[in-house]
């Protein structure tokens, strides 16, 4: 991926919010397709409402969440104009997703107490799966929304109990307390789930011989987990000098890649990986058809340096790559051709996308310039035509398709970068790409396929930071990846 240098009705979301909506027609699906991409529509027939005190139950992954399981819900800011997008020079509030009506179609929802409730999704490994990350299940936080005007005239009864129910007997739900005023968390533990399963929430109030019930006050969908996918990782440490081996070994050791991917990334869409081999590929030894090593062709031993330009009595400085890599796509193809000829693994890299992923690491600083100068003067104004590259992957939609990720580690090696590139390799576009099913403004989500920075209209030459840590995939992205993997 590149780092660029360039000059009223509201809606309740499934994670719990405290605004009202005059809800639209009920959209709900008890039995959508296995990987449902759109809601099936059916009206809820007057859910039982006998308890006067109104409230809804929402599920939340908690602030401590790092990606340990898949969890997705409709974020309010995606479909409501409540945030200022700094890409624009006005102060207008916008939805973070530019096509919110289409995004709504991806989430099952229903109306309750005149509020549109968007149901969250969770993906969990079967507890009996070998080395299951969820042997003890997962914990979800519970939020209670009770800010209804009618409640001002009704006393809250501390004897109200909350039940979490599923028709699937392989799903076990326990809560820290049945009492509404004590309820904080639930634990969900499950076996194999062949089809989409549902956890419904209802409230019960027993007063003597009288039992009052409020049904459909919350809902959670569980993703089918019977088919756990697997991918194989082949790690290739590309050597350009004697010191590279220790440097890269230390960087890769520090990020514990296999553990990280299985615990916080791939597990979200019910996939696991295994590092099949770790190989040293010495670029000093192998020559291309022209008789050159890549070190010679691209001057890979040249270190980056600081270039100074004087303009209008000012001195401008910019860090410039010393090597001669101008177009990373050409370099990528040269490296893969060399590896396909001399590498230890004889598996296809640039053929059809498959379960074998090749991760190349090379300790150099790269700037993609497509033949242009990296830092120069134009009419006495300093110009930068360089894009710092930390990693680069084949996209499943590109020709030729392939299974390679090349990571340049001179600056730093971050596990989240590799997770992002694997997302590309498995069929996902950037959220802010026009190729993505939904267009989000860059740097405004916690999605792994977003960027850690966001563009600002008023800032020349740089960007500011995404306030979210990128750690999640959306449910519709789980669908894309798993549908792609079905064909492998």
Asked if 481 and 426 touch (Cβ cutoff 8 Å), the reply is yes
392 and 357 in one domain? yes
255 and 177 in one domain? no
Within a domain: residue 214? yes
233 and 176 in one domain? no
Tell me what pLDDT residue 473 has: 98
Within a domain: residue 43? no
205 and 128 in one domain? yes
Summarised one tens digit per residue, pLDDT across range 366-392 is 888 876 777 777 777 777 777 778 887
Tell me what pLDDT residue 34 has: 32
Tell me what pLDDT residue 42 has: 38
364 and 402 in one domain? yes
Asked if 392 and 421 touch (Cβ cutoff 8 Å), the reply is yes
Partner residues linked to 143 by β-bridges? 58
367 and 256 in one domain? yes
**How many Å apart are CA 129 and CA 472, to the nearest integer?**
22
Q: pTM of this prediction?
A: 0.85
Last residue of a domain, one of 193, 222, 251: 222
Within a domain: residue 41? no
Within a domain: residue 99? no
256 and 209 in one domain? no
Summarised one tens digit per residue, pLDDT across range 6-41 is 222 223 334 433 332 334 322 222 333 333 333 433
Partner residues linked to 117 by β-bridges? 110
Last residue of a domain, one of 201, 222, 243: 222
Partner residues linked to 144 by β-bridges? 57
Q: How many domains does the chain have?
A: 2
Low-confidence ranges of the chain (pLDDT < 50): 2-43
- Domain CATH number, residue 67: 2.60.40
Tell me what pLDDT residue 458 has: 55
283 and 351 in one domain? yes
Residue 203 CB contacts under 8 Å (≥ 6 apart), including other chains: 51, 55, 160, 161, 162, 163, 180, 213, 214, 217
Find the domain containing 149 and state its range.
56-73+120-222
240 and 216 in one domain? no
Within a domain: residue 198? yes
Last residue of a domain, one of 190, 222, 254: 222
260 and 237 in one domain? yes
Tell me what pLDDT residue 259 has: 94
Tell me what pLDDT residue 319 has: 85
Within a domain: residue 381? yes
């Amino acid at each position: 991926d590149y780092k660029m240098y360039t000059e009223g009705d509201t809606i309740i979301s499934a994670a719990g919010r405290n605004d009202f909506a005059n809800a639209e027609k009920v959209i709900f699906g008890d039995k959508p397709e296995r990987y449902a991409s759109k809601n099936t529509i059916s009206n809820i027939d007057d859910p039982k409402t006998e308890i006067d005190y109104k409230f809804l139950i929402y599920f939340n992954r908690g602030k401590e969440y790092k990606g340990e399981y898949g969890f997705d819900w409709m974020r309010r800011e995606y479909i409501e104009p409540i945030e200022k997008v700094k890409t624009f020079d006005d102060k207008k509030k916008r939805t973070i997703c530019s096509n919110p009506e289409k995004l709504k179609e991806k989430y099952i929802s229903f109306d309750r107490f005149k509020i549109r409730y968007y149901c969250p999704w969770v993906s969990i490994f079967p507890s009996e799966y070998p080395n299951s990350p969820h042997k003890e299940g997962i914990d979800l936080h519970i939020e209670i929304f009770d800010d209804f005007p009618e409640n001002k005239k009704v006393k809250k009864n501390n004897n109200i109990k909350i039940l979490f129910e599923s028709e699937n007997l392989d799903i076990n739900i326990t809560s820290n307390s049945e009492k509404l005023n004590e309820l904080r968390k639930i634990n969900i533990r499950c076996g194999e789930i062949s089809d989409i399963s549902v956890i419904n929430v209802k409230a019960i109030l027993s007063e003597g011989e009288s039992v009052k019930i409020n049904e459909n006050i919350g809902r959670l969908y569980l993703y089918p987990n019977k088919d756990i996918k697997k991918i194989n990782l082949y790690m290739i440490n590309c050597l350009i000098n004697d010191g590279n081996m220790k440097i890269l070994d230390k960087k890769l050791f520090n990020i514990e890649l296999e553990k990280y991917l299985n615990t916080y990334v791939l597990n979200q869409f019910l996939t696991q990986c295994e590092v099949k081999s770790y190989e040293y590929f010495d670029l000093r030894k192998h020559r291309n058809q022209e008789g050159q090593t890549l070190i010679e062709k691209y001057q890979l031993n040249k270190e980056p340096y600081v270039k100074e330009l004087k303009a209008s009595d000012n001195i401008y400085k910019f860090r410039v790559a010393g090597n001669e890599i101008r177009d990373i796509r050409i370099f990528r193809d040269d490296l893969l051709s060399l590896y396909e000829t001399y590498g230890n693994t004889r598996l296809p890299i640039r053929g059809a996308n498959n379960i074998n992923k090749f991760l190349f690491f090379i300790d150099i600083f790269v700037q993609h310039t497509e033949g242009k100068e990296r830092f120069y003067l134009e009419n006495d104004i300093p110009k930068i035509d360089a894009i710092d590259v930390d990693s680069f992957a084949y996209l499943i939609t590109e020709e030729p398709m392939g299974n390679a990720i090349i990571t340049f580690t001179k600056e730093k090696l971050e596990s989240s970068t590799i997770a992002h590139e694997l997302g590309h390799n498995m069929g996902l576009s950037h959220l802010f790409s026009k190729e993505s099913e939904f267009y989000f403004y860059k740097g405004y989500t916690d999605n792994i396929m977003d960027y850690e920075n966001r563009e600002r209209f008023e800032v020349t030459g740089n960007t500011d930071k995404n306030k979210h840590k990128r750690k999640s995939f959306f449910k519709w992205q789980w669908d894309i990846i798993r549908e792609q993997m079905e064909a492998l």
